[in-house]
A and B are shown apart, each in its own frame.
Chain A
Amino acid sequence: DIQMTQSPSTLSASVGDRVTITCRASQSVSRWLAWYQQKPGKAPKLLIYKASSLESGVPSRFSGSGSGTEFTLTISSLQPDDFATYYCQQYKTYSITFGQGTRLEIK
């Protein structure tokens, strides 16, 4: 299995901050990577696919980059609605794996 490791596990930030979350794969997944946002008690929401493609309806302050084994999710200016947990997911094959999650909390 391809292991996905996110860092940091928890991130404290303020409204208006620029934040970056990193996701590393144990082997190359090319650009087959997605990012999700999850709020407590809710289903995950797709933000980014193919490493950098923004899902329809997702605000442009979210962006993704990377390829191979290292990827980043950046939120350019944090809004109150962005405080949530974020997961990366590789889909190089059908045997997908998620990162362990990064909890973004209010400083």
Chain B
Amino acid sequence: EVQLVQSGAEVKKPGESLKISCKGSGYSFTSYWIGWVRQMPGKGLEWMGIIYPGDSDTRYSPSFQGQVTISADKSTSTAYLQWSSLKASDTAMYFCARVVGPTMYYFDYWGQGTLVTVSS
């Protein structure tokens, strides 16, 4: 069974750093792109970027380029999303999701989401 299990909720202060995780199981982790999607409170879905764990090829949405870093560790089948300096506007639910296939950039399996709250 394909599963993506994300790390737990985080409460941080502005300016702090953060790295959240998404662990894949039940499939070949290195053979599928993984994407990250933001959902701000009461708002819609925003694509942040994708990574191919096989070779760490990473693509970012222009809206998030330079704001976050996406990475992956093949040895632990885990993808990461990190911030070096959080802002209050980073408060949101973050989902990871598996991309169906090369050139088929839609998502068939999703993590449960990680709620990030940034407040002083």
- Chain B residues positioned under 8 Å from A49 (CB to CB): 100, 104, 106
CB pair B95–A43 under 8 Å, yes or no, is yes
A94 x B50 contact (CB < 8 A): yes
For chain B, the bracket of interface size reads 20 to 34
Interface-central residue, A89, A91, A93, A94, by most chain B CB under 10 Å = A94
- In the complex, per-residue mask of A95-107: 1 if CB is within 8 Å of any chain B CB, else 0: 1111111000000
| In the assembled complex, A8 has its CB within 8 A of some CB on chain B | no
A42→B105 CA distance, assembly (Å): 21
Q: Would A94 and B59 count as touching, CB distance under 8 A?
A: yes
Please measure, in the bound complex, the distance between the C-alpha atom of A97 and the C-alpha atom of B46, giving whole angstroms.
7
- B81-120 residues with Cβ-Cβ distance < 8 A to A are 95, 97, 100, 104-108, 110-113
| Cα of A34 to Cα of B59 in the assembled complex, Å | 20
- The answer to whether the Cβ of A16 comes within 8 Å of any Cβ in the partner chain is no
Name which residue of chain A comes closest to B60, CB basis. A95
Minimum distance in angstroms from A11 CB to a CB of chain B: 15
Indicate whether A1 reaches chain B with its CB closer than 8 angstroms: yes
In the assembled complex, the CB of B34 is this many whole angstroms from the nearest CB of chain A, namely 13
The reply to whether the CB of A87 lies closer than 8 angstroms to some CB of chain B is yes
Q: Which of B44, B61, B105, B106 contacts A100 (CB 8 A)?
A: B44
- Contact of B111 with A43 in the complex, beta carbons under 8 Å: yes
Residues of A19-59 whose CB lies within 8 A of B: 34, 36, 38, 42-46, 49, 55
- Point out the residues of chain B lying under 8 angstroms from A42, CB to CB: 113
In the A-B complex, the 8 residue pairs with the smallest Cβ-Cβ separation, listed nearest first, are A43-B110, A91-B105, A34-B106, A98-B45, A101-B44, A96-B47, A100-B44, A91-B106
Interface, chain A (partner B; CB < 8 A): 1, 34, 36, 38, 42-46, 49, 55, 87, 89, 91, 93-101
Interface residues of B (CB under 8 A from A): 35, 37, 44-47, 50, 59, 61-62, 95, 97, 100, 104-108, 110-113
